[in-house]
Amino acid sequence: MSKRRAVISGMGLLTPLGLDPSSFWERLVAGASGVRRLSLFDPTALSSQIAGEVPGFDAKKLLPVEMKDARKSLNKMARTIQLGVCAAQQCMAAGGPAKGTIDPFRFGIEFGCVMVATEIDDLCKGGQVSSPGDPPQVDLPMWGREGLKNVPPLWMLKYLPNMPACHVSINYDAQGPNNTITTTDAAGLLALGEAYRLLQRDSADYFLVGGCDSKVNPVSASRFGSFAVLSTKNDVPDEAVRPFDRDRSGTVIGEGAAVLGLEWLDFAKRRGATLQAELVGFASGFDRGRSGKVLARVIRNALDEAGASIDDVDHVNAAADGSREIDAWEARGIGEVFGKDVPVVAYKGHYGHAGAASPLIELAASVLAFQHGVLPGTRNCPHPDPACPVHVHAGVPRAVTKPYAVKIARTDRGQCAVAVIARVAPE
């Protein structure tokens, strides 16, 4: 029996390059940068003062007035969750199934999201009344007696990683499979893989698959500044993130959301959906030693499921974020499979690192490349590092000439996921 085929039939994108797929694509093709000095708070005390912010994001303006309950709930959502909810609405508006045309128990939700950093204002008053002395120091018994009284009662619900999937399922009465993947930078692509397997097992007809994240707040920025390698090119933010380049010096924090409609091909045809790409292979693994060997095996497993040969792959869409060691590890894995024969792109040089959202934002770029017939180049890689044995496609866009694209996601610990998509041939 042939396997059930899964197709991508819509997308919603909120990124530092734009607030919808068309503006994202226009700026990506133009080689523009969405990395700039932080504006949501004063970053002067930070060594890295730049980020990929979603410009002009206002959830209340993006959600239509008829979504009254969702708009009322916005004050219970941190920025990360608002991004995910708004991207889901954009995806549904772009071609999701209309109400009454899908069994709610066959409508699933899969999201990639991680624990959300608190907004300082939510805990500030409680901390102040619980911190006597000079200098102030939190008194835990006093925190229990007085501090907690000053914490908003719904505080926790603003920050749990499963809340994007929760709100989205309520908004669209999606009562089918529902899960949240929290594996940091690979979460979005792992969510896609799980939805793909559920479709193959006939557990649903349609999924909203999303990834959302925002590190653009004082708590996250200071935390990542302490343990992550961030670029300090504050004077030239558009040149800060340099994937695979010999002069790369770290990444920058960012934010964004991407939601894709993923559905069974027969269901998509019955409802007249626009087919944007087909998901034909997926695999995941853990490259514990970051040698690249396991990543290479995962890539091959995904290609085998897709039935795709290396000669049929138009490009590899990498996760590279400008980190010296991790970019080299990823490149070793890619190079072991493809050598330098297949072009490799990496788009964080354009928009920064959006964490759990990045894999699906970047996969959307490959879907759009299939639709438009051109592949944008990698930004900020004028001098490819010899330690990264891949063929980096940089500079002006090139024509898309082959039917498959490979998307890679990985974490700094070694978890990795690979998806293979195919261009949909006109019928």
Task: Report all structural domains of the chain as residue ranges with CATH numbers, in order of start.
Answer: 6-118+155-270 (3.40.47.10), 120-150 (no CATH), 281-422 (3.40.47.10)
Contact 382, 394 (CB under 8 A): yes
137-165 tens-digit pLDDT: 999 999 999 999 999 988 999 999 999 99
- If one counts every other C-beta atom within 10 angstroms of the C-beta of residue 275, the result is 16
Contact 41, 219 (CB under 8 A): no
Contact 242, 249 (CB under 8 A): yes
d(CA 372, CA 379): 19
235-265 tens-digit pLDDT: 999 999 999 999 999 999 999 999 999 999 9
69-110 tens-digit pLDDT: 999 999 999 999 999 999 999 999 999 999 999 999 999 999
CB-based contacts of 313: which residues, under 8 Å, 6+ apart?
303, 338, 342, 402, 404, 405, 406
d(CA 25, CA 361): 11
DSSP letter at 147 equals: I
Contact 212, 191 (CB under 8 A): no
DSSP-derived 3-state class of residue 308: coil
CA distances from 84 to 59, 162, 234, 304, 357 (A): 10, 11, 29, 32, 9
Residue 188 carries which side chain, given as an amino acid letter? Answer: G
d(CA 262, CA 243): 29
DSSP letter at 245 equals: B
Listing DSSP states for 359-384 in one string gives HHHHHHHHHHHHHHTEEPPBSS-SSB
Contact 359, 417 (CB under 8 A): yes
User: Residue 13 — pLDDT band, cuts 50, 70, 90?
Assistant: very high
d(CA 265, CA 289): 39
d(CA 427, CA 423): 12
Phi, psi of 369 (to 5 degrees): -65, -40
DSSP strand E in 287-362: where? 313-317, 343-345
**Helix (H) and strand (E) counts in the chain:** 14, 15
Average pLDDT, the chain: 96
Sign of CA dihedral 96, 427, 374, 422: positive
Judged against a pLDDT cut of 80, whether residue 397 lies above it is answered with: yes
Judged against a pLDDT cut of 90, whether residue 379 lies above it is answered with: yes
| Helix (H), strand (E) at residue 253 | strand 253-264
301-342 tens-digit pLDDT: 999 999 999 999 999 999 999 999 999 999 999 999 999 999
Contact 10, 91 (CB under 8 A): yes
Contact 205, 267 (CB under 8 A): yes
d(CA 143, CA 129): 8
d(CA 193, CA 199): 10
Judged against a pLDDT cut of 60, whether residue 427 lies above it is answered with: no
d(CA 323, CA 185): 13
DSSP letter at 291 equals: -
Residue 399 carries which side chain, given as an amino acid letter? Answer: A
Percent of the chain residues topping a pLDDT of 90: 94
| Helix (H), strand (E) at residue 358 | helix 358-372
Report helix, strand and coil shares of the chain as percent, to nearest 5.
40, 20, 40
193-202 tens-digit pLDDT: 999 999 999 9
User: Residue 2 — pLDDT band, cuts 50, 70, 90?
Assistant: low
pLDDT of 227 reads: 87
CA R_g for the chain = 21
Judged against a pLDDT cut of 60, whether residue 276 lies above it is answered with: yes
pLDDT of 100 reads: 92
User: Which position has the higher pLDDT, 2 or 173?
Assistant: 173
pLDDT of 1 reads: 38
117-126 tens-digit pLDDT: 999 999 999 9
Rounded mean pLDDT of 361-386?
Answer: 98
Q: At what angle do helices 358-372 and 21-29 cross, to 10 degrees?
A: 80
What is the value of pTM for the model shown?
A: 0.97
Structure token pair of residue 315: 């490009």
d(CA 45, CA 49): 8
